[in-house]
Amino acid sequence: MSVSLVGRSDAGQSFYWLVALQILASVGQSTLICLSKQADEGLGYEITSAVCMEEGLCLLFALANFAASEEVRQPRWSQFKQSLILLVPAMLHVLHGNLVFLAHVYLSAPAFQLLQHMKVIVTGIVFRVLLHQQLLLVQWIALAQLAIALAGSCHFDPATGRDRSKPELAGDWVAGMTIVLMLSVCSALAGSFLALRSVWARAGGNLWLHLYTFVISALAFALFRSPGRGFFSGYSPIVALLVVYDSLFGFAMASTARTGGNLVKVFSASGSVLCSTLLSIGLFDWRPQSAWVASATLAACSLGLYYGDQRALYRPDRELPGLANLLGSRFRGLAVFDEAPKMV
315-335 residue pLDDT tens: 666 665 554 554 554 444 434
Specify if 22 maps to a domain.
yes
Query: Rounded CA gap, 173 and 180, in Å?
Result: 10
Q: What is the chain's pLDDT, residue by residue, as a tens digit (344 residues)?
A: 333 333 333 445 577 888 888 999 999 999 999 999 876 567 889 999 999 999 999 999 988 888 877 665 565 555 677 778 888 999 999 999 999 999 999 888 998 999 999 999 999 999 888 888 888 888 999 999 999 999 887 755 444 444 444 444 667 888 889 999 999 999 999 888 877 665 455 656 778 888 999 999 999 999 988 888 888 888 999 999 999 999 998 888 877 665 656 778 888 888 999 999 999 988 888 888 787 889 999 999 999 888 876 676 776 666 655 545 545 544 444 344 444 444 43
Q: Give me the pLDDT at residue 163, please.
A: 46
CA distances from 170 to 70, 107, 153, 176, 295 (A): 54, 11, 11, 10, 17
CA distances from 84 to 41, 96, 167, 212 (A): 39, 19, 45, 9
Radius of gyration of the chain (CA): 21
Q: What is the pTM of this model?
A: 0.82
Q: How many residues does this entry show for the chain?
A: 344
Query: Rounded CA gap, 256 and 247, in Å?
Result: 14
The alpha helices in the chain, defined as continuous H runs, are 11-36, 47-67, 80-83, 87-106, 109-115, 118-130, 137-152, 167-195, 203-224, 237-255, 262-284, 290-307, 310-313, 320-330
Q: Give me the pLDDT at residue 66, please.
A: 80
Q: Give me the pLDDT at residue 339, please.
A: 41
Q: Give me the pLDDT at residue 212, please.
A: 93
Specify if 343 maps to a domain.
no
Specify if 51 maps to a domain.
yes
Query: Rounded CA gap, 166 and 152, in Å?
Result: 15
DSSP 218: H
Domain count, the chain: 1
54 and 177 Cβ atoms separated by less than 8 Å:
no
Specify if 1 maps to a domain.
no
The count of other CB atoms within 10 Å of the CB of residue 8 is: 12
Specify if 30 maps to a domain.
yes
Specify if 271 maps to a domain.
yes
Specify if 202 maps to a domain.
yes
Q: Give me the pLDDT at residue 258, please.
A: 59
Specify if 126 maps to a domain.
yes
Strand (E) or helix (H) holding 42 = strand 42-43
Q: Which domain holds residue 257?
A: 8-330
